[in-house]
Copies of this chain bind each other. A is one copy, B any other.
Amino acid sequence: MNTVANDTPIITITLIDGPLGVSCAALPLLGDGACTVGAALKFEGIVRAQEGERVIAALNYEAYRPMADRLLEQLAREVCIKHGLVRVAVEHSVGRVAVGECSFRLTIDSAHRVEALLAMGEFIDRMKIDVPLWKRPVFHNDVDERASHER
């Protein structure tokens, strides 16, 4: 349960093993601050069947932790302050996420739509440059590639 006090933005960062299920990080806001939210924006990144030319079975995500967590938090805080957002919730998968499943969810609550849309584009662009997260395609009938890296 998230309640809003004063003008402190709410930031949550969640790295989850495997695909993201129904969001727990981004339940509707309660409390005084909730009444200031006019725009609730949610982006979900879904694993596509094709990676370049090849058909894939899944993506395997890897994070350098805790650096990834800290950079996501820092980035969320920066866009929150810059755009005056009420809440930013970030969820990202680590490990295997099959085609059609969700690996990344960004939830933004703000007073108006314009800042939410701007902040969303900005967060994702910067995440894809700065946050130590990697994905590796898993092809059908692959032996699990992960094992070969644990030597």
Given the known A-B contacts A117-B121, A120-B117, A121-B117, are A41 and B38 also in contact in the complex, defined by CB atoms under 8 Å?
A: no
Q: Which chain A residues numbered 112 to 127 have a C-beta less than 8 Å away from chain B?
A: 113-114, 116-117, 120-121, 124
Besides A38-B45, A43-B113, 5 more A-B contacts (Cβ < 8 Å) are A34-B100, A38-B46, A40-B43, A41-B41, A114-B121
Residues of B within 8 A of A39 (CB): 43-46
Please measure, in the bound complex, the distance between the C-alpha atom of A43 and the C-alpha atom of B119, giving whole angstroms: 13
- A88 CB to nearest chain B CB (Å): 15
Contacts of A113 in B (CB 8 A): 43, 45, 121, 124
User: 13 pairs across A/B with beta carbons < 8 Å?
Assistant: A35-B49, A37-B46, A40-B44, A40-B46, A41-B42, A42-B42, A42-B43, A42-B44, A43-B113, A43-B116, A48-B111, A113-B121, A117-B120
Which residue of A43, A47, A121 has the most chain B CB atoms within 10 A of its CB atom? A43
Question: Is A99's CB within 8 Å of the partner chain B?
Answer: yes
